[in-house]
Structure 1
Amino acid sequence: MADIIRSEDAPIEFFGKVVDAAGSPVEGAELAFHIVKAGSFAPSLGFPTGEVGNVRTAPDGRFEIIGKQGMTLGFDKVVKAGFHEAERMIRTFGYGNNAAPHRPDKAAPELFVLIRDGSSVSQQGELNLAFDWKGEALRFKLPLKGVEETLVLTPSREPAKPPARSYNWNLKVELDGGQVVMGTKGIAPIAPTEGYLPGLTVNGDPKGTRWTSTADILFYFKTKSGGCGQIKLKVYSDRDSTSRTGSLDVSFNPDGSRVFE
């Protein structure tokens, strides 16, 4: 057992950067972190169970954690006078035998976003959706001021072959007059700078090991007026227009800021 525990802890190497809403570096921000060690699963053996610490950002907003050992590295909070976190959540990164180990890249550090106190807050809106999966383009007016573009969804599905009780489904997402890009859940709520397209398509394959009738989709959009938005779209592939087929939560920054709160 002791040998197994020793083998589970791996070298920890992490590179991060704290930025503001404009993407500029934030100097002197303090991040509180914790490390979970393999010994936490068998504390009676006397191995270290974990450690906590703090790290401060340099003038370029960067910081690094190296020379540590453990299974996971988690960040509990980011603090800087005059700022607050864009999204309050603990971010955790796995190492060693983790199913999805973190791959550190000094040239592309993980971003942590702080918002200056008193700055404008993103416009917020939400909308419930009801539609049929017939492959027809459906237009939805976004519940936001100053957004002329229309969200266009084209949902289609077909039943999977028995005995599967599920669907092969596709959903094309477009912003008429704007552009969209797929986001990544679980990271700082900051829109990408590139990769925007007139439309994107997501799908569900019942043969996949992670198939589910409910899909949570995150994407960002740009408007022709220069605004930037975020949409969290939830769809239910096993429903139709007789019930709520989905919903969306929208955030929008008319000034083009890429950070949302």
Structure 2
Amino acid sequence: MTVCEFQEIDPEVLNRATEKALEALDSERTPRLLVEFYDTATNFAGSTFAMLQPRDAGAVTATDLLALRTLSIKLGAYEIRQFLDGGPNERKISQLLGELPSAELQNTNAADFSPMAAFYDEVKRLLAGAGTKNSNRWVAASKLTARKRPDLFPVRDRVVCGYLGILKQTDRARDWYVFRHLMRNSDITSRLSELPARIAAAANGRDVRLDEEPLRLLDAILWRYAMTASTEIPVDDEDARGESESD
């Protein structure tokens, strides 16, 4: 079994990530940014990524791979076959899905990170297919694991990790630790609970469909705020989340 072992995260890293998350959540621009992201009349992924039906808790399906496309992940025929060929890869993925903790990220413990890492690592391995330009598809793997368990896996990419100040950690479990810290912070969870009302007040009749999971809402505002607040974050094609027709 995959074992996650790492030194404790520096409190300064956790404090900075918390401050940056609260900055995004408290911004006056936040309701407008999220209205745009969740407006069904735009090409942003919105809630389609996590909510696209049907959802199968026990397997990676064609619908899951289609959902990845809403977050700008491109898959070749080889990668698709790795997940859908009905062979040992598909069975291994289903086994690892079944071993994931039932808890939400904020309620996980240290032991839960090992089955999370095992599932993530296998997804990442299968995504590094023949002919891919990048064999280290950590962003694509983060997005697919988040699609399967949006309450457990955050979407890690260069934009969000760069904004939070954790991009140099280059370790999935260390990043999960930081996101778990954020989701345990009462100020952050309080702001997240207030977001739906703030978004509704700013919607002005637009068809806005929000994610159900607070972790997904946090991801959405971190990404939108970071993308509009800085031009210094290094980005890749896989860091996108769709785009507005007006952009």
Shared fold, TM over 0.5: no
Higher strand share: 1
Q: TM tier, shorter chain?
A: under 0.3
**Which of the two has greater helix per residue?**
2
Higher relative CO (CA 8 A, sep ≥ 6), structure 1 or 2?
2
Larger Rg: 1
TM-score under structure 2 length normalisation = 0.25
TM-score by length of 1: 0.24
